[in-house]
Amino acid sequence: MKHILGQEWEITPAGGDTGEAFFARYKNQRLFLKRNSSPFLAVLSAEGIVPKLVWTKRLENGDVITAQKWLSGRVLEPSEMTQDLVARLLKKIHRSEPMLAMLRRIENLALLPETLFQTVINKLDEEVLSLSEVQSTLSFLKKEAQNVQCEEKVVCHGDVNHNNWLLTENNQLYLIDWDGAMIADPAIDLGLLLYWYIPKEDWNDWLTMYGKELTDHLKVRMKWYVALQTLSSIQWYKSKNRSQEKNKWIKFLGEII
């Protein structure tokens, strides 16, 4: 990275699973650098969903480096996910026509529930498939597969974990880490957020801030996608030998099905 910015810049890894993100600092200049971000980042910046994109550079080897403004702030606490700031930003994302148009040019097709189902199931090993909670979940997913069809397709983030919500010192909220962006049913984002962070008795109020009614159809769609995502999480944590997290999600699955 120093050969791009100059030797005077201090560059440190930003963490994360890919190892492709870095912080850069020189005097009063601070940047967040990432290798091979999606071209979708430009419209996210223009829409004010992520911190401002400063520049993009293509290297001789074909890699693309993006630099964003590095802002002072913090991630949201789980308890803060109930706030109207979160509901309003997710509403803005799901209703953004420029974001949808750009992602359509990149992704081309919307992600259908049957496609997502097959992708997740194909990755489950025999040990995970043998769990009673997983068996019950598979029965539910198959039974309700025809009831989760939805015409509405929006830009979904896909991982609305509280650690991906950045609140700056001037109270500006951003949703970062868009590597898993997809065109799909908004119930994917809504379900994860509500099941993880919002007490069921408050779902109606939160969805009112977001601008949607809590119908029976939305309920079954949210539950279906959350159950499917939880299967994926169980397999992922098992593959990383992280038994505590794996068991947490198995327990969660047993509670929601």
Q: CATH no. for residue 51?
A: 3.30.200.20
Do 43 and 8 fall into the same domain?
yes
Do 103 and 229 fall into the same domain?
yes
Name the phi and psi angles at 8, rounded to 5.
-75, -15
Task: Give the predicted TM-score (pTM) of the model.
Answer: 0.90
- Per the CB < 8 A criterion, the answer to whether 123 and 228 are in contact is no
- Among candidate residues 17, 63, 84, 159, the one labeled active-site is 159
Backbone region of residue 198 per phi and psi (left: phi > 0; alpha: psi in -120 to 50; beta: other values): beta
Which of 25, 165, 185 has the alpha carbon at shortest distance from 86? 165
Count of the separate structural domains present in the chain: 2
- The helix/strand/coil state of 70 is coil
Backbone region of residue 66 per phi and psi (left: phi > 0; alpha: psi in -120 to 50; beta: other values): beta
Residue span of the structural domain in which 204 resides: 75-256
Whether 179 is a known active-site residue: answer no
> What are the pLDDT tens digits along the chain (257 aa)?
656 777 788 888 886 555 578 889 888 889 989 887 777 899 999 999 999 999 988 888 888 889 999 888 999 999 999 999 999 999 999 999 999 999 999 877 899 999 999 999 999 999 999 999 999 999 999 999 999 999 999 999 999 999 999 999 999 999 998 988 999 999 999 999 999 999 999 999 999 999 999 999 999 999 999 999 999 999 999 999 999 999 999 999 999 99
Q: How far is residue 14's CA from residue 8's CA, in Å, rounded to a whole number? A: 19
Could you tell me the CATH number of the domain that includes residue 189?
3.90.1200.10
Do 223 and 134 fall into the same domain?
yes
